[in-house]
Amino acid sequence: MAERSFAKEVRDLELGAGEEFRGEGILAITKALLQSGVGYVGGYQGAPISHLMDVLNDAQDTLDKLGVQFSNSASEAAAAASLAASVMYPIRGAVTFKAPVGVNVASDALANLTSGGVTGGALIIIGEDYGEGSSIMQERSHSFAMKSQMWLLDPRPNLESIVRAVEEGFELSEVSNTPVMLEVRIRACHVHGSFIAKDNKPPPFTLRQALESPKRDTGRIVLPPASYLHEKEKIEQRWPAAVNFIKTRKLNEFFDGDLTDVGIVTQGGMYNGVIRALERLGLADVWGQSRVPIYVMNVTYPVIDDEVAEFCASKKAVLIVEEGQPEHIEQAIATILRRRDINTKIYGKGALPMAGEYTADVMLKGVRSFLASAAPDALTDQVRAPNAPNINDDSRVQALASAVPPRPPGFCTGCPERPIFAAMKLVEKETGSHHVASDIGCHLFSCLPPFNLGATTMGYGLGPASAAAFNVKTDKKSISMIGDGGFWHNGLTSSVGNAVYNKHDGVIIVIDNFYSSATGGQDILSSRADTESRSTQHPIKKAVEGVGATWVRQIDNTYNVGKMRDTLKEALANNEPGPKVIVASSECMLNKQRRVKPLFNKAVKDGERKVRERFGVDEDVCTGDHACIRLSGCPSLSVKHSADPLKDDPVAAIDNSCVGCGNCGEVSEAAVLCPSFYRADIIYNPTGFDRFMARMRGAVIGFLQRRRARRRVAFA
């Protein structure tokens, strides 16, 4: 069950030649793949590229018609390895995953693929997750492209450029026998626009033909002496072929302007930001017509020496817009100009920051700084000053910032992972703190308030592996986390198998919420859902026992905080050799609501009797202890002032976002036995008996309330 369905949008993938395609970048990429005659597609979900996998899943009928094979890969490494089908055979293949973490995971396969080279076009579509909205370490995929000598495309963020990059990326790969990376940032993935479609093409050479007529060439296998020849082939054959193709097809773009003494060299993905900055400075219009000449590098690696020299030769200064560090493009251009004795002054890092996302405001300051130094007459007095007004100076922005407090990311309302960490906090009060190794996934939010658990995170599925060094005899055990997505990604072998093999005396908590929730709610091996095209319902507990773990406990309701607490205490007290594994299972509440709400609403509309649970707090009983909030952190929990003048502390309150999971009552009961929570059942389409019981309850409660009011002592 993915985060959203593209069932409606994928119908446009059937559009033919001459028809206008409208949609967002992810759909345009999919359409471009089908127009290019792709034979197979694989990938692993992750922002900002998750939706591409979801689109491909929803487009299975279209893929089947064309004979395109699609796989939800077990990891980025599995996806990259599938491109081996393009090594010996003229079959176009594409894979997609989040970068740079996906590139890091897939590095072994990609390095081998690039060394031996490809016959069919091989395209790696990477979601470059860099900047303010990112949830990962800040790195660039550019470095990997340079290291392994694969070409890197970074198209302008509009649909026509993106589609062209896909189509010509395959051709570039085939011409140079080299896999090609296509880098799309979040704005490119979700930019909306249109382009004129072409007919979809079935793969001219199919996977079936490859299986029926197998080929073999030891020159493509990465073994000595062939591996030594691969490096020479890259430099002497593949690189010149790529450069010639890029120049001939004019993949990079030149935009003229009347301020011919200066220019801007920019990554394709940064083009929209550059134009917006120039527009705000009065040097470009809303249609992209710029007074400053611009050289757009839709191919950021390899750098085309002749094009750079041609653009810079007649200019006294150029600004290089390159987001992130190291400044690979700036260094390359500086080398080209020096070798050709071109004295154009380079502005880059310095005018623009060395690191960090180039937002609209950052870009404006950088371009203004460059022009104020290199072409001051181009700027008006109003925009020349370095302290000229910017976005953050807007009174409306300041008012919004003062009214909306900063809020750290946290678990969703009703998340079944929250009670796991509440149980850990309760155990911590009894046994003291432990070294907690965190893992990638929603559960990483436990590092933040109110839980403040977790000391490290080293990679997807590597939580228990990151605690491997703490395998020493002591009264304290390490506790490590791993989610079900990370478990099936590589955690079964790298974390659990490694702990079993080394008889690691630690506790491993596998958080099983039935989906790969952190990447958008996709089904995985242990999902409880039935799917026609995938094999699911493989219990994690069996897999753990299969690699040799002997102390394994299954908890099927993580909301039972008391049971979670007692099981964790048992694991920490057990001294038998090997890891103690707790598989804590409850369905992701966000996905559950997506699944249940439409069914519930339909049943109510059809007249079926349905009951919805809601929780509340009796403010007359609440003491203001707030253990429910301290140990839960649920967004639906807040505080309000009590009407009781004898209570100084505010009482707990539950708002309308409550999903009725009951965790707040469970944690407060496990902590201090709080009786202030109550459950109310809201009945839709009640029966006659329901109405009779409601009247009876109302009468009894009303009688008791009136009697209590009569006995209450009142002061005039």
Tokens 């979801």 sit at which residue? 54
pLDDT score at 381: 65
User: Do 429 and 547 sit in the same domain of this protein?
Assistant: yes
Let me know if residue 292 belongs to a domain.
Answer: yes
Q: Cβ neighbours of residue 391 under 8 Å, at least 6 residues apart?
A: 360, 361, 397
User: Do 278 and 164 sit in the same domain of this protein?
Assistant: no
Number of domains in the chain: 4
User: Do 549 and 659 sit in the same domain of this protein?
Assistant: no
What percentage of the chain exceeds 70 in pLDDT? Answer: 96
User: Do 156 and 243 sit in the same domain of this protein?
Assistant: yes
Tokens 């309330």 sit at which residue? 705
Confidence of residue 320 (pLDDT cuts 50, 70, 90): very high
User: Do 265 and 118 sit in the same domain of this protein?
Assistant: no
Which residue from 141, 206, 219, 152 is spatially nearest to 179, judged by alpha carbons? 152
pLDDT tens for 55-94 read: 998 899 999 999 999 998 989 999 999 999 999 999 999 9
Q: What average pLDDT is seen over the chain?
A: 89
User: Do 371 and 487 sit in the same domain of this protein?
Assistant: no
Q: Cβ neighbours of residue 567 under 8 Å, at least 6 residues apart?
A: 553, 555, 582
Confidence of residue 210 (pLDDT cuts 50, 70, 90): very high
- Local structure of residue 262 (DSSP, 8 states): E
User: Do 434 and 524 sit in the same domain of this protein?
Assistant: yes
- Local structure of residue 344 (DSSP, 8 states): P
User: Which CATH number belongs to the domain containing residue 502 in this structure?
Assistant: 3.40.50.970
- Local structure of residue 352 (DSSP, 8 states): B
User: Do 24 and 67 sit in the same domain of this protein?
Assistant: yes
User: Do 52 and 167 sit in the same domain of this protein?
Assistant: yes
Which residue from 589, 599, 558, 598 is spatially nearest to 657, judged by alpha carbons? 589
pLDDT score at 309: 97
Q: From CA 295, how far away is CA 156, in angstroms rounded?
A: 12
pTM score, two decimals? 0.87
- Local structure of residue 558 (DSSP, 8 states): T
Q: Cβ neighbours of residue 24 under 8 Å, at least 6 residues apart?
A: 189, 190, 191, 192
Lowest mean pLDDT: which of 176-185, 330-339, 677-686? 677-686
Domain assignment of residue 396, given as a range: 253-402
Which residue from 620, 615, 621 is spatially nearest to 637, judged by alpha carbons? 615
User: Do 56 and 155 sit in the same domain of this protein?
Assistant: yes
pLDDT tens for 379-421 read: 876 565 555 556 667 778 778 777 776 667 788 888 899 899 9
pLDDT score at 676: 81
User: Which CATH number belongs to the domain containing residue 398 in this structure?
Assistant: 3.40.50.920
Let me know if residue 408 belongs to a domain.
Answer: no
pLDDT tens for 96-120 read: 998 888 999 999 999 999 999 999 9
- Local structure of residue 313 (DSSP, 8 states): T
pLDDT tens for 121-177 read: 999 999 988 877 777 778 889 999 999 999 999 999 999 999 999 999 999 999 999
Let me know if residue 711 belongs to a domain.
Answer: no
pLDDT at 319 over 70: yes
Let me know if residue 6 belongs to a domain.
Answer: no
Per the model's pLDDT, the better-predicted residue between 288 and 151 turns out to be 151
Let me know if residue 605 belongs to a domain.
Answer: no
Let me know if residue 692 belongs to a domain.
Answer: no
Tokens representing 363 are 């870009």
pLDDT score at 669: 64
pLDDT tens for 499-535 read: 999 999 999 999 999 988 877 778 888 888 887 778 8
- Local structure of residue 665 (DSSP, 8 states): H
Let me know if residue 202 belongs to a domain.
Answer: yes
Q: Cβ neighbours of residue 680 under 8 Å, at least 6 residues apart?
A: 613, 614, 615, 616
User: Do 172 and 291 sit in the same domain of this protein?
Assistant: no
User: Do 469 and 515 sit in the same domain of this protein?
Assistant: yes
